[in-house]
Structure 1
Amino acid sequence: MTDIGRYSRQVLFQPIGREGQSLLRKARVAVVGMGALGTVLSSQLVRAGVGFIRLIDRDIIEPSNLQRQSLYDELDAEQGRAKAEVAAEKLRAANSDVEIEIAIEDVNSQNGERLLSDVDLVMDGTDNFEVRYLINDIAVKHNIPWSYGGAVSSYGTTAFFRPGQTPCLVCLFGLNQTGGGHDTCDTVGVIAPIVSIIASYQIAEALKYLTGNLHALSNSVTYLDVWKNEFRSVQFGLPKGACPCCHQHRFIALEGRTNGLTVSLCGRKTIQVRPTVGLGVSLMQMAQQLAKFGEVRHNPNLLRCDFGDTQLTLFADGRALFHGVEDEKTARNLYARYIGI
C-alpha cells in the first residue's frame, strides 16, 4: 500500500500534510510499557506511519488485562505470552512499513540509556513514578522530549515535556513521588475510556512535535475525569532555576542503584525479582531443571512454570515474576530455591 493511499486522510489534514508525513516516517519513538496506555499509544503511532518504534515491556499477558489493553486477546492471555512480543506481531500486521523493535526488559538505571537515548521521543505508558523519574532523567540528560501519561479509576493526567523549554517532572512534582500513597489499578480499578482518552492526548502532542508544529503544543498539564465530567488544564511556567534535575543536572534516578525486587502494580498479586547484577540464563536448561517441580512451557523469550498455588515467569535476563505471591521475602526465597541465585 502506497503512502499516499495509507495516509491520505492524515496528509489531507493541513497542519501535517506531505511534509509532516515525511517527518513522521523518519521519526524514532520508544514506548515504555505495553499495558493499557502503551497498547493505544503504539497502535496510533504505527497507524500514523512513525518510521521506527521500540516497544519496551517487562510483563506477560493475563486475563485481567483484556478489559483495557486493546492489542491482546484470550489466546494470548491463556498462553501467558510477553506483551511486547504479541504487540509487535499485531502492529506489524497493521502496518508492515514501520520498523518495530521489541525489548522484553524492565527499564532501570542500568539499561535505561541504552533503551531510550537513541530516539526522538519517549512515550510513557507505565504505571509507576519510579520509571517516570528515570525517563525524565534520561530525557533531560540527552535532550529528548517525552510524554507523561497516567490513568486510573476514571481520571488521568498527561503532559508533554521538552528539556530546556518546559519544566521537567522534578520541577513539577519534586523528588518524593516514588513512594506509596497513590491510587493504582489494584486499589481503585480503571475503566477503558480514560485510558484511550489520555493516550490519545499523548499522541496528539506527539504528532504536533514530530511534524514540527511546536506552536500548537499545549505546554500544560492536563487532567480529566470522564465519570465526573471534569477537565482542567494548567499552563506550564518556566523551568525552576533551582531544579536538581534540569538546572543542576543531578540525575538521581539514573545514577541510583535499582532494587532487586519490585511489586508489579495494576493487575494482580505478582512480585518481580530482578538480580542486582546482570544474569543471563538458558531457558531451555531451566525448563529441564524446573520440570520436576511443575508444568513448564517456554519459548525463546520466556519460560513459565506452574507450581500449583504459585506460577513463575522467567526471562532470559534472569528477571522473574512470581504470580500468586504477596510477600517479598517469599518471592526472594522462591527465586533462590528455583533459579539458584
Structure 2
Amino acid sequence: MDTRYSRQILFPPIGRAGQEKLAASRVAIVGMGALGTVLANHLVRAGVGFVRFIDRDFVEPSNLQRQMLYDESDAEQHLPKAIAAYEKLRRINSQVQLEPIVADLTPYNAERCLAGVDLVLDATDNFQVRYLINDFCVKHGVPWIYGGAVSAKGMFLAIRPGSTACLRCLFPEAPKPGDTPTCDTAGVIGPIVHVIASYQAAEALKLLVGADDALNPYLEHFDLWANQHQQIRVAQAKRSDCPTCGQHRFDYLEPTSPEGLATSLCGRNTIQISPAQELQLDLEQLAQRLAPLGKVERNPFLLRFHIGSHTLVVFPDGRVLVQGTDDPALARSLHARYIGA
C-alpha cells in the first residue's frame, strides 16, 4: 500500500490512518457519464475499498468528448457504461472491489442498489433520480454529494442527513422534465465536468477519512465561460417542515405505477420503459424472434432492434429504450408489439 498511495499518505489530513479508512470504505456512484467517470477514476485511484457504479445507458460516440473512461471501441460495441467503466477501472487498481450495475435507479430498486454503502455520489443528469437519492440517504442516514454540470456551469453540495439541509429543504419539488437544460439540449464542455467532479471527489475523501470540519458548507456554483464563482450559504436552510428530513416522508421512494415507468430522456428523442419488477430476459431467444422483423444487433449486455424509424434497446432486466420518439404512448405501443408484456 505504501508505494501506490505514498503521495496521498504524505498529505497530512489523510496520512496512513486516513488511507486505512479509505480502504475500508464503500461508495456508490449513481450515473457513469461525464461526472461519474471522473469521480470513479479519482476514488478508485485513491484506494477506496469498494466502489459500486450504477448506470442505465450505453456508450455512444457523442459521449467521448467528455466521458473520460471510454473510447471508440466501447461506442462501437454499444457497451453499457457500467461495464465499460468496470473494464477500465479494474486494470487501474486491482486492490479495489468494483461492482457494476446496469440499471436505472428507480423506486423499485433503490433500496437494493444503494444498500450497504457509506456514501452516495450523485453523477446523474436527472432531478427525479436526485430526489430519489435524497430520500434514500435521509431515510438511512447516509451522506451524499449532489453534483451537476451543463453547458459551462456546474454546482455541488455535500449533504449529511441530520446535520445539514437536504436537497428538498433547498428545492421543495423536483423540476418537471424539460424545465431544466441538459447536456443533450444545452451542450457541455469537458472542463466544467472535471471541476465539479473533482470538488465532489475532494468532499468524498473528507467524509470518508472523517475530516468533517474541512467539509465545504456552501452550495457552490461555477460558470467557467463567464469566469464566475458563487458560494451560496445553506447552513441555515434546514427546514423542520421539509417533507423528507423534517416529516420523514419519502415520496420519491414510493412506486408510482404498477405497470412500471415510462420516462422521457430529455433532448434524446427517447422514451425509457422500466418494468415494475426486474425481469430476466433471454436476449438470444428474443433476438431469434425479432430477426425476421428487422435488423437485430446484440452483445452480452443488451440487444438493439431496428424497426422503421425506431430502435428498441433491450436490457436483460427488462428495461427498454425506445429511440426515435418522445411520445410515451407510442413507445408503450412499440414495446407491447415487439417485446410483449
Q: Name the TM tier (shorter chain).
A: over 0.9
Which residue matches 1:248?
Answer: 247
Provide the C-alpha distance between the structure 1 equivalents of 2:256 and 2:183, rounded to a whole number of angstroms: 27
What TM-score does the superposition give when structure 1 sets the normalisation length? 0.95
Q: Counterparts of 2:82 and 2:266 in 1: how far apart (Å)?
A: 17
Q: Shift of residue 308 of structure 1?
A: 5.2
Please tell me the residue identity of whatever aligns with 1:253.
Answer: Y
Do residues 144 (structure 1) and 142 (structure 2) align?
Answer: yes
Cα deviation for residue 254 of structure 1 reads 0.7
- CA-CA distance at 1:91 after TM superposition: 0.5
1:279 Cα deviation from its structure 2 partner? 3.2
In the alignment, does 2:25 pair up with 1:24? no
Partner in structure 2 of residue 119 of structure 1: 117
In 1, the alpha carbon distance for the partners of 2:171 and 2:248 equals 16
1:220 matched residue in structure 2: 218
Q: Cα gap change, 1:96/1:308 in structure 2, threshold over 3 Å: closer, same or farther?
A: farther
Compute the displacement of 1:313 (Å).
1.2
For residues 115 and 29 of structure 1, the distance between their equivalents in structure 2, rounded to whole angstroms, comes to 11
> What corresponds to 1:322 in structure 2?
322
* 2:285 is the counterpart of 1:285: yes
Structure 1: any 5+ residue segments left out of the alignment?
none
CA deviation after TM superposition for structure 1 residue 273, in Å: 1.3
For 2:215 and 2:167, locate their aligned partners in 1 and report how far apart those are by CA, in whole Å.
17
Are the counterparts in 2 of residues 185 and 265 from structure 1 also a CA contact under 8 Å?
A: no
Contact 1:117 1:138 in 2 (8 A): no
Is 197-206 or 277-286 further displaced after alignment?
Answer: 277-286
Match of 1:272 in 2: 272
Structure 1 residue 276, shift from structure 2 partner? 3.3
Whether 1:208 aligns to 2:206 is yes
The structural deviation recorded for 1:97 is 0.6
The root-mean-square deviation of aligned C-alpha atoms, in Å, is: 1.4
For residues 169 and 317 of structure 2, the distance between their equivalents in structure 1, rounded to whole angstroms, comes to 34
Q: AA paired with 1:337? A: R
User: Secondary structure of 1:5's match?
Assistant: coil
Q: Which amino acid aligns with 1:74?
A: E
Equivalent residue number for residue 261 of structure 1: 262
Whole-angstrom CA distance in 1 between matches of 2:114 and 2:176: 20
**2:128 partner amino acid:** E
Separation (CA, whole Å) in 2 of partners of 1:322 and 1:242: 40
Cα separation, 2, equivalents of 1:69 and 1:289: 35
Which residue of the partner structure matches residue 340 of structure 1?
A: 340
Partners of 1:92 and 1:176 lie apart in 2 by 35
Residue deviations 1:4-50 (CA, integer Å, cap 9, x gap): 11111111111001111110000000000011111111111101100
- Determine the structure 2 residue equivalent to 1:6: 4
Match of 2:74 in 1: 76
Residue type of the partner of 1:67? Q
- The residue correspondences of 1:290-301 to structure 2 (distance < 5 A) are 290-301=290-301
Q: How many residues align?
A: 338
Q: CA deviation at 1:286?
A: 0.5
Inter-partner Cα distance in structure 2 for 1:176 and 1:265: 15
Q: Deviations over 1:43-71 (max 9, x none)?
A: 11101100000010011111111111111
Looking at structure 1, the residues matched to 171 and 255 of structure 2 have their Cα atoms a distance apart, in angstroms, of 19
Secondary structure of 1:203's counterpart equals helix
Output aligned runs, 1:130-209, within 5 Å. Answer: 130-209=128-207
Deviations 1:135-194 (A, max 9, x none): 000000000000100000000010000000100000011124344421111221111110
SS at match of 2:317: coil
Note if contact 1:304-1:311 (Cα within 8 Å) is conserved in structure 2.
yes
Give the match's secondary structure for 2:2.
Answer: helix
Residues of 2 paired with 1:324 and 1:65: CA distance?
A: 19
| C-alpha displacement of 1:102 | 1.0
Instruction: Please report how far the alpha carbon of residue 271 of structure 1 lies from its aligned counterpart in structure 2 after TM superposition.
Output: 1.8
Identity, % of aligned pairs? 54
Unpaired segments ≥5 residues, structure 2? none
Deviation track 1:266-320 (CA, whole Å, cap 9, x = no partner) reads 6x33221112344332111111111112332333321122335322211111111
Q: Mean Cα displacement is larger for which, 310-319 or 105-114?
A: 310-319
Range with bigger deviation, 211-220 or 236-245: 236-245
Structure 1 residue 220 displacement after superposition: 1.3
Which whole-Å CA distance do the structure 2 matches of 1:291 and 1:94 have between them? Answer: 39
Indicate if the aligned counterparts of 2:41 and 2:89 stay in contact, CA closer than 8 A: yes
Greater Cα shift, 257-266 or 222-231: 257-266
Say whether the 8 Å CA contact 2:135–2:253 is kept in structure 1.
yes
Equivalent-residue separation in structure 1 for 2:315 and 2:42 (angstroms): 28
